[in-house]
Structure 1
């Protein structure tokens, strides 16, 4: 399995599936961008891909890396959590948020951000963490969110992130890195998933607070797909089926994972950020997939490389 979730989540679901199915199961934890690259260079390495935004699974399908599969258990999920053609099904959901260190906010004399423009505050110079859009799905989610708020305008989107660049201390490889940096006070604010911020808070970084942009934020449907060329397609299908069940999704509360399960009968863990109260932008999964390459290339050329040159 290629697993695009936090390490302890990958460990827990792998162990639980192996125990329940009797199938020897292993995983490699990779960000969504890393999985897409690995599928290009080493097809057939994995049987199934669990985690990562649904738009990345569409990209994998566009590149002929997905074996269409409609699980019989998908019918238990709300329709927005299934691709009608069998490319993917969703097994968790969460939203892009701002994860801030309260002590650092007070030290800088600023409030927790409640809009994307708040991140441009000069008081936050070199004090923001953001995952790199090319390697971590959350980084691209942030880009596509800003693009959506700008009516899809690429130039305005790149201009925003060029302005933000001054305040970014680091573009991290992993989505969860920023929440840990904020927890330690190395940065003041991290652009992160609300579930990752809550996880870090509960892990001991109690100074962290989660806020959302009032104008709207992006969200993910964390997806599972069967991969083309799988050496154990039957096992991959069994894992796919299992991951959509309450048996699997009830595990989230105990891991603990602070993403919300998609199976409406599954147990929602304590302190999971309520997704129905978050103002979300209209998220077009197909458009997000189609524009990923252009946006990430523009980010690398116009923003990240400019930072390296400074």
Structure 2
């Protein structure tokens, strides 16, 4: 577990992007940046990074390459995937974005071309976790960590210590003090929960998430967890560090915890296969990955983590260097299987937790109450019944094998369960498991 106290940083809030130039109407996209000069070579970069960051890179890159004008096409992940899958790729030269699933898909579609990097400076991995494409088709630009935003003062008032691991959050002591995002509504949360599912194993992970949710409030916005902690509505929020830092960097006395077995997941950069400006594209990529370019993301109004270890030299005190975190902080997250799981994670969270949240809360309160009574008055038969109830309470109808089966996972790529019969069967299986769990708890209570 690694904890970072957050005292005062400037907030980076995404702004509306002004359309300052346009490529031919046949492409149907807007370009962001200053109008190109007639003599400029135009370099088209597809991105979803905020304007505050992209304009910084535009200005610094064009100082080094005054004959090249960078124009940004701002696209969310799904739209970028469609654009770059087209034959002409929208005229794009570079794709640069925090879109973990897009880059392998586009690689497999032949959308990128290989480029070289200095592996001595850019390891392409964090501990045992691979960050970059091993064949050189896309490279990690930065990494973002997942964890828990905390109000230490609120916990201290209740005599509680901050959690150190994901499993700590399941403690009844934290019940009513936690907020967690709904993956079908919050883009970063499928990866957040998949870190738990990979590090704990699929079935144990779902049991843990269900138990945490039994003492938590569910939120439908990405900023919700950090806002709830900041406003005193909750003491603990599951989130991504980038959003927490940017939302909390205005003097609040909060902390961010990287729990044991968390992961840092990368944003990437790649050169399109269709670029007619490879030299300019490679120059931009090289700049973004250079020590100078990587340091730009750590300036006062930003809070990102470079993928280049030497860029942390002289870093602001508030910026965490993930390459220097203690051993055991990371789980070697498998991005290849993880990129196929957002749909299944979203569907299962809805079926097992979100749409029956009140039931989930009642069930786990009953289990925890029975366990507390058993601790005070041990009973072997009652303990066996409650142990079985606990296992049933965390039941998931998707098996560990299915959760590693690419063909099975791809059925949920739209993040919806369109098979009505399957949805009905899974709901019935979950309901049956929950009913049996409650019955077992009731039988145990009768013995106490």
Considering the TM-score relative to the shorter chain, is it more than 0.5?
Answer: yes
Deviation at 1:254, TM superposition (A): 1.7
Tell me the secondary structure at the aligned position of residue 310 of structure 2.
coil
Which residues in structure 2 correspond to 1:157-176 (within 5 Å)? Answer: 157-166=205-214, 167-172=216-221, 174=222
Distance (Å, rounded) in 1 between the aligned partners of 2:60 and 2:285: 13
Distance (Å, rounded) in 1 between the aligned partners of 2:359 and 2:57: 42
1:43-98 CA-partner distances (Å, limit 9, x unpaired): 43565332326454224434x27313324566641142532223310122242121
Check if 1:156 corresponds to 2:200.
no
Which residues in structure 2 correspond to 1:277-292 (within 5 Å)? Answer: 277-278=325-326, 279-292=329-342
Give the paired residue count.
297
Match of 1:184 among 231, 245, 253: 231
Distance (Å, rounded) in 2 between the aligned partners of 1:131 and 1:99: 16
Distance (Å, rounded) in 2 between the aligned partners of 1:160 and 1:297: 17
Deviation at 1:210, TM superposition (A): 1.6
Check if 1:295 corresponds to 2:345.
yes
1:106-150 CA-partner distances (Å, limit 9, x unpaired): 45553322221332345443741336367523x123222211222
Match of 2:257 among 211, 220, 245: 211
Give unmatched runs, 5+ long, in structure 1. none
Distance (Å, rounded) in 1 between the aligned partners of 2:69 and 2:120: 25
1:4–1:52 CA contact under 8 A, matched in 2? yes
1:2–1:50 CA contact under 8 A, matched in 2? yes
Q: Which has the higher contact order (CA 8 A, sep 6+)?
A: 1
Match of 1:136 among 187, 200, 203: 187
| Cross-structure match for 1:112 | 162
Tell me the secondary structure at the aligned position of residue 266 of structure 1.
helix
Distance (Å, rounded) in 1 between the aligned partners of 2:350 and 2:110: 25
Give unmatched runs, 5+ long, in structure 2. 1-44, 126-130, 361-448
Match of 1:16 among 35, 39, 60: 60
| Cross-structure match for 1:39 | 80
1:245-289 CA-partner distances (Å, limit 9, x unpaired): 122112123244333322333244212123222411122222222
What is the TM-score when the length of structure 1 is the normalising length?
A: 0.77
| Cross-structure match for 2:309 | 264
| Cross-structure match for 1:222 | 267
Distance (Å, rounded) in 2 between the aligned partners of 1:75 and 1:18: 27
Tell me the secondary structure at the aligned position of residue 162 of structure 2.
coil
Deviation at 1:209, TM superposition (A): 0.7
1:48–1:227 CA contact under 8 A, matched in 2? yes
2:177–2:234 CA contact under 8 A, matched in 1? yes
1:197–1:208 CA contact under 8 A, matched in 2? no
Bigger shift: residues 230-239 or 87-96:
230-239
Bigger shift: residues 126-135 or 163-172:
126-135
What is the TM-score when the length of structure 2 is the normalising length?
A: 0.56
Distance (Å, rounded) in 2 between the aligned partners of 1:7 and 1:129: 28
Change (3 A) 1:191 1:68: farther
Deviation at 1:195, TM superposition (A): 4.5
1:74–1:89 CA contact under 8 A, matched in 2? no
Distance (Å, rounded) in 2 between the aligned partners of 1:303 and 1:5: 32
Tell me the secondary structure at the aligned position of residue 143 of structure 2.
strand
Tell me the secondary structure at the aligned position of residue 84 of structure 1.
coil
Higher Cα Rg: structure 1 or 2?
2
| Cross-structure match for 2:432 | none
Distance (Å, rounded) in 2 between the aligned partners of 1:309 and 1:193: 28
Deviation at 1:207, TM superposition (A): 1.8
Check if 1:197 corresponds to 2:248.
no
Deviation at 1:307, TM superposition (A): 5.4
| Cross-structure match for 2:298 | 253
Change (3 A) 1:301 1:120: same
2:192–2:240 CA contact under 8 A, matched in 1? no
